[in-house]
Amino acid sequence: MTRTARVASTTAPAHGRREHWSGRLAFILAATGSAVGLGNIWKFPYITGVNGGGWFVLIYLICVLAVALPIMVAEILIGRSAQRSPVMAFRKLAGARSPWQGVGWLGVTAAFVILSYYSVVAGWTLHYSWLALSQGFAGLHPAEVEALFGQVYQDPGINLFWHGLFMLLTVTIVAAGVHSGVERWSRILMPLLFLMILALVLRAAGTDGFWPALEFVFGAHGDRLTPAGVLEALGHSFFTLSLGMGAMLTYGSYLRTRDDVVATSLAVGGLDTLISLMACMMIFPIIFVAGLAPGAGPGLVFVSLPIAFGQLPGGALWAAVFFVLLAVAALTSAISLLEVAVSHFLDWRGWSRRRAAIGIGAVIFVLGIPAALSGGTRLFGGDFAAATAVLFGAGHGKNWFDLADYLASNWMLPLGGLGIAVFVAWRMGGQAREQAFMAGSRFARLYWGWVWLLRYIVPLGVLAVFLHALGVF
């Protein structure tokens, strides 16, 4: 009897069999949907701009290969082996009373925390989409574009409305199930996302800014790179691949043992990176043509880009495509965040999926209210750059929004990633680990390299991120 069959027959919860993806492609689309989000389209281009492109991009690619991908393989393997959501997976693999389940609890908590503010930000992308479609940004002076954003976000009602609508969309999709909800919508939204990016890159390739942008992103220069920039690349490789809080673990738990985890991880990591680089190649050419600075910081996408679009022929339409793209990317990421919490209550309490999705969605909506209100009142007093800086940058504990992001990005995710790596590399028995890695894999040769990276390089990397968060460097 295979491992999965034995698991299913002896320990499947009474309320039914675990759902599975219909195949490898479904998993790749859903996991890529989780990975590709605001991190790729908003944050990566702006940190690339601030760090001067060139070597920063190369270092980022090394971080993805050496630190993030090994963790992704480990996380998905835990889920696939246990066929459980994070907490129950650690209980199953480490023992019912083992402290390792703390890594799972940390992940479930992080899902609530992250989604509560991610949804507020995602709400803005919906609102921008609507603004771009209804009135466009063309013909506005740069100062007017900036003021427009400031004025929009001073309104708590607008923030709450879009946050609520976005949570409603997320809940509706997750409530429909792994197969008819998450998978089905990933199959629709991911190709749509890819087409929109492709169209925007092609549009940018037709401008005079394309070659300077290529040179900026891929050229051999590192004059603006600092040690802090290196750590930023490392931290980002983690966030962008949705690692460290059980999202990949949960999606992995819907895989069958015969599905190749290494090949799928490489596909997800590759697609995520491709989309980040494409995001640069759709944004920088337009920024250069408009004569704006690539190192504008967090406001690059929200202020510089609408200004730049405003100067292109047909810019209103392109701006609309861009913001719909952002909203779609955020939606598929939010789905994965909600799925972690829903899956947890299914496995742990035996709740029905519908009840879990609606109940948890409502709680997260309420948790997001302070973020929506602080977004409206304090953060957006016209100072848009400062407001967006708190989204994923180091927060300073000024309000719920800052605090939630700061805790999640700088502490919970790295800690969770460290726990996952240490568990698989040091705690899980060698035989179980090797068996899990080899099952269904065409990449048996990578086994020892992967173990070595997980044992030494990953913990060192995560430690560096912690020391950075503590202000040591």
Give me the residues that bind ligand TRP (CB under 6 A), please: 34-35, 37-40, 239-240, 242, 245, 247, 333, 336-337, 413
Q: Given the complex with ligand TRP, which of 146 and 272 has the nearer CB atom?
A: 272
* CB contact set of 202 (below 8 Å; sequence gap of 6+): none
Nearer to ligand TRP, 4 or 48 (CB): 48
Closer residue to ligand TRP in complex, CB, 4/170: 170
CB of 114 to ligand TRP, least distance (A): 6
Give min distance, CB of 413 to ligand TRP, in A.
6
Which residue lies nearer to ligand TRP by CB, 304 or 409? 409
Kindly state the tokens that stand for 114: 């992250």
State which residue, 35 or 292, has the beta carbon closest to ligand TRP.
Answer: 35
DSSP 338-399: HHHHHHHHHHHH---HHHHHHHHHHHHHHHHHHHHHHIIIIITSS-HHHHHHHHHS---SSS
Compute the least distance from the CB of residue 404 to ligand TRP, in Å. Answer: 13
Query: Which has the closest alpha carbon to 423: 2, 70, 63?
Result: 70
CB neighbour class for 205 (10 Å; exposed up to 12, middle 13-18, buried from 19): middle
CB of 75 to ligand TRP, least distance (A): 10
Shortest spacing between CB 207 and ligand TRP, in angstroms: 27
Structure tokens, 243: 């690692």
The residue count of the chain comes to 473
**Helix, strand, coil tally for the chain in percent (to 5):** 80, 0, 20
Element (H, E) at 235: helix 227-240
Whole-angstrom Cα distance, residue 165 to residue 173? 13
Nearer to ligand TRP, 239 or 302 (CB): 239
Q: Name the residue nearer to ligand TRP (CB basis): 194 or 447.
A: 194
Find, among 455, 467, 375, the residue nearest to 420 by Cα.
Answer: 455
Residue 210 or 401: the one with the smaller Cβ distance to ligand TRP is 401
Residue of 174, 183, 177 lying closest to 334 (CA atoms): 174
Q: How far is the CB of 336 from ligand TRP (least distance, A)?
A: 5
Q: How far apart are CA 253 and CA 203, in angstroms?
A: 40
Residue 110 CB, shortest distance to ligand TRP, in Å, is 7
Report, in Å, the least distance between residue 284 CB and ligand TRP: 19
